[in-house]
Amino acid sequence: MSAVAERYRKVLREIADAADVAGRDPADIRLVAVTKTVGITEVAQAIAAGMHEFGENRAQEFVGKHALFPDEVWHFIGTLQSNKVKQVVGKAALIHSIDSLGLLVEVDRRAREAEVVQPVLLEVNVSGERTKHGMTYDEAEDAVRRACALPGISVRGLMTMAPLGRPESTRRVFRECSHWMGRLQSLHCDAVDLTELSMGMSNDFPVAIEEGATIVRVGRALFGR
């Protein structure tokens, strides 16, 4: 068994334990293996171990790995520049990082050109840290309302990043993000079906699951440092 496979089994146990604490079904939580800085050999080992959803932070790396492993499910999870949107739209199963109304509109434009509907998450800055990307609640609400008139995108939920620190110190951020989701779910339209909460990484994903995460983005705990 490869080291990647061993780490994968450990992460699955932690997901199951966290789901049990929250009274949730572990099958309802999607594990996205973050392959930033990870080589092709490790990706192949991850696939052999049973992983099939992967996340990339940079457009160039995303395109390259998507081409090498086209049968896997690829998420784009990093900051997306407007001039890179065309490379990602139609290939990403989910874009996690729509951090502005302008980017949402650009993704819609490129998706309509490609004749696809692109699933996206709105990145929200719940912690209010200036160093983090993401929308305020009011900006997210505006984006949800605008999405109702954008046929090229489908808003599926929210993504957030908690401040670095002890896992328990991130609980407030994850809980608040879940609260934001609940408020935004009342804004119904065909382009908006808010069911996904992408939150939690290697150092804090169990807490995120306890607070409602449906997608966790795990890199170091799977691939090592």
With a cut of 90, say whether residue 165 has pLDDT above it.
no
CA-CA distance, 182 to 171, in Å (whole number)? 17
With a cut of 80, say whether residue 167 has pLDDT above it.
no
Quickly list H helices, the chain.
3-22, 40-49, 59-68, 85-88, 101-114, 137-147, 171-184, 205-210, 220-223
Mean pLDDT is lowest, of 113-117, 134-138, 188-192, 206-210, for: 188-192
Task: Select the more confidently predicted residue: 130 or 95.
Answer: 95
| pLDDT tens column, 192-208 | 889 999 999 999 999 99
Judge contact between 72 and 92, C-beta under 8 A. no
Name the percent of the chain lying above pLDDT 70. Answer: 98
CA-CA distance, 162 to 151, in Å (whole number)? 31
With a cut of 80, say whether residue 219 has pLDDT above it.
yes
Mean pLDDT, the chain, rounded, equals 94
With a cut of 80, say whether residue 191 has pLDDT above it.
no
Judge contact between 207 and 174, C-beta under 8 A. yes
Task: Select the more confidently predicted residue: 130 or 28.
Answer: 28
Domains and CATH numbers, the chain: 3-223 (3.20.20.10)
With a cut of 80, say whether residue 169 has pLDDT above it.
no
Judge contact between 185 and 146, C-beta under 8 A. no
Q: What is the pLDDT of residue 80?
A: 96
Judge contact between 127 and 169, C-beta under 8 A. no
| pLDDT tens column, 68-112 | 999 999 999 999 999 999 999 999 999 999 999 999 999 999 999
CA-CA distance, 125 to 30, in Å (whole number)? 22
* Burial class of residue 175 in the structure, from the number of CB atoms within 10 Å of its CB (0-12 exposed, 13-18 middle, 19+ buried): middle
| pLDDT tens column, 21-80 | 999 999 999 999 999 989 999 999 999 999 999 999 999 999 999 999 999 999 999 999
CA-CA distance, 45 to 15, in Å (whole number)? 20
For residue 87, which amino acid is it?
Q
Q: What is the pLDDT of residue 102?
A: 96
Judge contact between 119 and 156, C-beta under 8 A. yes
Q: What share of the chain is helix, strand, coil (3-state, %, to 5)?
A: 45, 20, 35
Judge contact between 3 and 224, C-beta under 8 A. yes
